[in-house]
């Protein structure tokens, strides 16, 4: 599926599903109490920067629809990966952006 009127460059564009915004809000809230941060301001800045990058066609924000969710769950079950990672992969595949930058984790969770 392609977004009408949107040019997706292979290199230089970032992609994230809307779900990542919700995850960021949870992290900001968690560390607001620990580090005395302003979670609302951080989230507002994230949304503002995301909007700017989207307007510049450097960021593609993907809505999580049922087909992406189903594809994500299949990846989780098949490859035993985190649902957030599966959501990234399924979202990228959904817009035909199939070049990934992947950082191998330490193997520790939490």
Q: Is residue 54 part of a domain?
A: yes
Residue 110 is encoded by which pair of tokens?
Answer: 């939490």
Q: Is residue 2 part of a domain?
A: no
Q: Is residue 50 part of a domain?
A: yes
Q: Is residue 104 part of a domain?
A: no
Q: Is residue 101 part of a domain?
A: no
pTM value > 0.85: no
Per residue of the chain (110 residues), give pLDDT as tens.
333 333 333 335 566 677 778 888 888 999 998 898 899 999 999 889 888 888 888 877 788 888 998 999 999 999 999 888 888 888 888 887 655 555 555 555 44
Cβ neighbour number for residue 90 with a 10 Å cutoff: 23
Helix ranges (H only) for the chain are: 18-35, 39-55, 66-79, 83-94
Q: Is residue 99 part of a domain?
A: no
**What is the spatial distance between Cα 60 and Cα 7, in angstroms, rounded to a whole number?**
10
Q: Is residue 6 part of a domain?
A: no
Cβ-Cβ contacts under 8 Å for 8 (sequence gap 6 or more)? 2, 60, 95, 96, 97
The number of distinct structural domains making up the chain is 1
Domain residues for the domain of 20 are 14-94
């Amino acid at each position: 599926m392609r977004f009408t009127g949107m040019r997706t460059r292979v290199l230089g564009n970032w992609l994230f599903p809307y779900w990542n915004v919700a995850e960021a809000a949870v992290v900001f809230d968690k560390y607001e109490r620990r580090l005395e941060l302003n979670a609302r301001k951080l989230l507002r800045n994230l949304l503002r920067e995301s909007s700017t990058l989207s307007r510049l066609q450097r960021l593609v924000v993907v809505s999580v629809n049922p087909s992406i969710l189903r594809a994500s769950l299949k990846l989780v079950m098949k490859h035993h990966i985190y649902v957030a990672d599966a959501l990234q992969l399924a979202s990228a595949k959904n817009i035909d952006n199939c070049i990934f930058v992947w950082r191998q984790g330490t193997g520790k969770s939490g």
